[in-house]
Amino acid sequence: MGIMRAFVSVRKAFSQPEPSEFARLQADVKELKEYVNDILTDQNDINEETRMQLELINESLAELQAEKRTPPPPRRIGFK
């Protein structure tokens, strides 16, 4: 009885081979690449929003500096 079970298990092993180690590694690497790409895409989206906010801040600062750069009118010397 044990011999028949052994032959049946060997036949199942040959008829339905398990994926090779290389194939499993390829699948793992592919899954990891997709995961990293998703993370980088999310990070770039966040960076795009942050970049827009920084540009608005820089424009506001440039406007404030431009207002300060206008020199005051010259002071007249002498009596009025």
- Per-residue pLDDT for the chain (80 aa), expressed as one digit of tens each? 777 888 888 887 777 766 687 888 889 999 999 999 888 887 777 777 888 888 999 999 888 887 766 677 788 887 76
Other beta carbons within 10 angstroms of residue 11's beta carbon come to 10
Cα–Cα distances in Å, from 31 out to 18, 26, 34, 40, 69?
Answer: 19, 9, 5, 14, 56
What pTM does this model have? 0.38
